Structure 1
Amino acid sequence: MDHFLYRDGVLCAEDVPLAEIAAKVGTPFYCYSTATLTRHHALFEEALSGLDHMICFAMKSASNQAILKVLANLGAGMDVVSGGEYARARAAGVPGDRIVFSGVGKTEGEMRMALDGGIRQFNVESEPEMAVLSRVASEMGQIAPITIRVNPDVDARTHEKISTGKKEDKFGIPITRAREVYAAASSLPGLKVIGIDVHIGSQLTDLEPFEQAYLKVAELTETLRADGHEISRLDLGGGLGIPYARSNEAPPLPLDYGALIKRTVGHLGCEIEIEPGRLISGNAGIMVARVIYVKSGEDRQFLIIDGAMNDLIRPAMYGAYHDIVPVVEPAPGQPQARYDIVGPVCESGDTFAKSRDMPPVQAGDLVVFRSAGAYGAVMSSEYNTRPLIPEVLVREDQFAVIRRRPTYEEMIARDTVPAWL
């Protein structure tokens, strides 16, 4: 469920007509619903009730400070994967003891930043990283709390570019080597082992891969405890999918996911961390664009909009599907038109949909890309010297621009021409 609904024939974000926002900020733009973010966070809290737990929002899905502030005010922690994300989380008022630092390539500078500013834990992904983190922490007179990410060799059955838990993926250490790696970590002076981390992929639409991975983690917990390690925290990652194509997708509910967690690892007495991103932010955001032209080709119609692959790259990068609907509600029973929906960038890959049936639209009409709140704005770029598009946050009948569109002058001013030219 989200809070983007037709009212009196016009699509609204909560109580604000999208046409009203478009008139003020121009198109294209991203728009987020506070009520939807709040509801999705509450679903995970309900799912994990009865367990000692923390929900750490995966910032890689959406990292605007206003979104982070909404979630932080609800008690969420943050899962970060770069020094920049750590800085954003702290700027949004998230305390260090609610920030988990993940990622395969943490630098010494990022380690120092997190140790200096406060950190809940590092999710360590390799033996070389362990050695560097121990040295950095020791030099700073600190002990770094760590979990070690294990790769359980479980096929998440998701897109190959967002699968992270198979043995050929770059993430984590092989679970078959966990005992020796944990032993090595315990011998390093700057580290304190506190738990296990696992994450198998994104946009999972079946609970079975989670179950396979979590049962392996449960067995490993017992083994490591028998070896004398203190395993008090399990970071189970994120990855629960959302319905992009609303007509035929039905991913598992957070309540079912929570029941699975309780069934597989709930008996271990560990604090549970999860790192949802897409399920919290995905359906909480949309992209709004305007039709520039309807162009007739030899055997098709092209719907050319002012949004492009640099604004929303998921279709070009992953072949991802987004529902695309007009802002003005179509009349009941209105015949459908068929379009290739494309942007203005000079790439054939700047295509959002091919042979898509939707209500007829014409130049000047507004269209909405649903389920664009995750991996939308955060993956955008200025390709073709196109400005990053605004982000807008709605709460009930109010809206605010939370990232404005830069001017061409501001973009060009970032370049520096050498004096010898």
Structure 2
Amino acid sequence: MLDRTAFHYDNGALFCEGVALKDLASRWGTPLYVTSKHSIEDRYREFEAAFSGLEHFTCYSVKANFNLSVIKTLGDLGCGCDVNSAGELFRALKAGVPGSRIIFAGVGKRPDEISYALLSGVLMLKAESLSELRAIDAIAAERGLTAPVALRINPNVTAETHPYITTGDSKEKFGIDEAELPEVFSLLGELQHVRLVGLDMHIGSQIFDPEFYVAAITKLLDIFNYSRSKGFGVEFLDIGGGFPATYDPMKPETPLDRFADKIIPMLKPTGVKVIFEPGRFLLANASVLLTRILYRKRNHTGKEFFVVDGGMTELIRPALYQSHHEVLSVTRHDETVVADVVGPICESSDFFARQRAIGDAPEGELLAVMTVGAYGAVMSSNYNGRLRPAEVMVEGSDVQVIRRRESFEQLIQNEV
């Protein structure tokens, strides 16, 4: 998706804010991740404006993009962080986000991670099972602390999204099943080093229809009322993230106001603070992946291929989720050609686009794979001995390297 506030053509050349992408590739090479700082800031402000009628706290879902500069950009605006591991917690703290603005999630927290979170003073740990509640209580007791926890409830709402990114269905591993709640609240009454502060849900990612939130929030409110009747003073209702971003122009994102119009009237009467956990919404359209055309080839059937120097090691989403990403020629071409855009990795699933109309660019020119700010660089790998790409952040006409390209030495630095 071409985010025209951040990425635009000027005299036939594709720019990020005030900088030509071809100049960035000339200086830092390819593959190269390019992120617009203004895009991140604008999306955060858009989100805050949409839900301004509700007392809330936004925690950026760090798993979407854990680059320190990305986290700091949002943290400087007052955003909190939702983390899923000790590593993500470490990154958020290093980026300057205080523990009091961090919530620790994850279905399989290790004891050392629970301890690290407690000692870091996180706002809450989200518990997803009876066993985890007991583990948190025991670790908090060892530390002489009382652990603030939220219960992650599985609302058994199956959203219409890719099966790998749905998280609110009872068939999946996430959360506490509704049938367990009486036992959970009974246990909470016994534990001495755990304090219930919130209730949480998350139904998945790329949710286009607000009615899925309505169904899940309805269940969450029933549990909220039940918890109050049991004497628990819940301070937060966390409804997760999942708000959509546009990848394919033929399937534009649902405007945030449509979600706000449904969600705010349901949650405002509770009088408690609502937590949101957007990730993809804030970051997806903030970045592009620059890649250079190494070769063009045609097989005996006439099928065209653009072979580029980036692949599934830099962006695995098309292979993993069959996701759509626009692919644009960095130098605009009036003529197009229908082709597969494929990478150098030894897998047939190594592609960015199949049978797509692409600008008729020659070998040596650049392509931009769009909408890669979320779950792009963060999921990169060293498969095939590949070096993870460099990342730069653009602010107006200023450019900063926010991750250096890996070296061959770094590939083997931990091996003995």
**Aligned partner of residue 364 in structure 2, secondary structure:** coil
More deviation in 388-397 or 42-51?
Answer: 42-51
Give the equivalent residue in structure 2 for 1:361: 361
Alpha-carbon offset, residue 257 of structure 1: 1.9
Does residue 1:50 correspond to 2:53, yes or no? yes
Alpha-carbon offset, residue 55 of structure 1: 0.5
Alpha-carbon offset, residue 148 of structure 1: 0.2
Q: Distance in 2 between matches of 1:140 and 1:194?
A: 19
**Aligned partner of residue 118 in structure 1, secondary structure:** coil
**Aligned partner of residue 126 in structure 2, secondary structure:** strand
Give the equivalent residue in structure 2 for 1:406: 406
Q: Which amino acid aligns with 2:284?
A: G
- 8 Å CA contact 1:123, 1:148 repeated in 2: yes
**Aligned partner of residue 357 in structure 1, secondary structure:** strand
TM-score w.r.t. structure 2 length? Answer: 0.97
Out of 264, 272, 283, which is 2:266 matched to?
Answer: 264
Which stretches in structure 2 are left out of the alignment for 5+ residues? none
Q: Which amino acid aligns with 1:261?
A: I
Give the equivalent residue in structure 1 for 2:304: 301
- 8 Å CA contact 1:286, 1:372 repeated in 2: yes
Q: Distance in 2 between matches of 1:297 and 1:128?
A: 57
Q: Which amino acid aligns with 2:24?
A: I
**Aligned partner of residue 354 in structure 2, secondary structure:** strand
Does residue 1:209 correspond to 2:212, yes or no? yes
Q: CA RMSD in A?
A: 1.1
Q: Distance in 2 between matches of 1:413 and 1:133?
A: 35
Alpha-carbon offset, residue 22 of structure 1: 0.5
What are the equivalent positions in structure 2 for 1:220-259 lying under 5 Å apart?
A: 220-246=223-249, 248-259=250-261
**Aligned partner of residue 207 in structure 2, secondary structure:** coil
Give the equivalent residue in structure 2 for 1:160: 163
Alpha-carbon offset, residue 176 of structure 1: 3.1
Out of 264, 284, 300, which is 1:282 matched to?
Answer: 284
- 8 Å CA contact 2:291, 2:368 repeated in 1: yes
- 8 Å CA contact 1:28, 1:389 repeated in 2: yes
Q: Distance in 1 between matches of 2:174 and 2:8?
A: 39
- Superimposed CA distance per residue, residues 54-84 of structure 1 (whole angstroms, 9 cap, x where no aligned partner): 1100000000000001000000000000000
Give the equivalent residue in structure 2 for 1:110: 113
Does residue 1:384 correspond to 2:384, yes or no? yes
- 8 Å CA contact 1:63, 1:88 repeated in 2: yes
Does residue 1:317 correspond to 2:320, yes or no? yes
**Aligned partner of residue 318 in structure 2, secondary structure:** helix
Q: Which amino acid aligns with 2:373?
A: G
- 8 Å CA contact 2:55, 2:268 repeated in 1: no
Q: Distance in 1 between matches of 2:178 and 2:259?
A: 23
**Aligned partner of residue 296 in structure 2, secondary structure:** strand
**Aligned partner of residue 19 in structure 1, secondary structure:** helix
Q: Which amino acid aligns with 1:395?
A: E
Q: Distance in 2 between matches of 1:290 and 1:182?
A: 57
Number of equivalent positions: 412
**Aligned partner of residue 412 in structure 2, secondary structure:** helix
Give the equivalent residue in structure 2 for 1:129: 132
Q: Distance in 2 between matches of 1:410 and 1:230?
A: 50
What are the equivalent positions in structure 2 for 1:84-123 lying under 5 Å apart?
A: 84-123=87-126
**Aligned partner of residue 27 in structure 1, secondary structure:** coil
Q: Distance in 2 between matches of 1:31 and 1:98?
A: 28
Q: Distance in 1 between matches of 2:414 and 2:13?
A: 40
Alpha-carbon offset, residue 181 of structure 1: 1.0
Alpha-carbon offset, residue 199 of structure 1: 0.2
- 8 Å CA contact 1:46, 1:255 repeated in 2: no
Does residue 1:171 correspond to 2:174, yes or no? yes
- 8 Å CA contact 1:306, 1:344 repeated in 2: yes
**Aligned partner of residue 74 in structure 2, secondary structure:** helix
Q: Distance in 1 between matches of 2:29 and 2:291?
A: 9
Q: Distance in 2 between matches of 1:35 and 1:146?
A: 34
Q: Distance in 2 between matches of 1:405 and 1:256?
A: 41
Out of 28, 33, 40, which is 1:30 matched to?
Answer: 33
Give the equivalent residue in structure 2 for 1:419: none
- 8 Å CA contact 2:153, 2:175 repeated in 1: yes
Q: Distance in 1 between matches of 2:329 and 2:252?
A: 24
Q: Distance in 2 between matches of 1:52 and 1:105?
A: 30
Identity of aligned residues (%): 37
Q: Which amino acid aligns with 2:267?
A: V
- Superimposed CA distance per residue, residues 367-407 of structure 1 (whole angstroms, 9 cap, x where no aligned partner): 00110000000100011111000111110001111111122
Does residue 1:41 correspond to 2:52, yes or no? no
- Superimposed CA distance per residue, residues 321-372 of structure 1 (whole angstroms, 9 cap, x where no aligned partner): 1000001123xxx332010110001111112221111221111110001100
Q: Distance in 1 between matches of 2:106 and 2:413?
A: 33
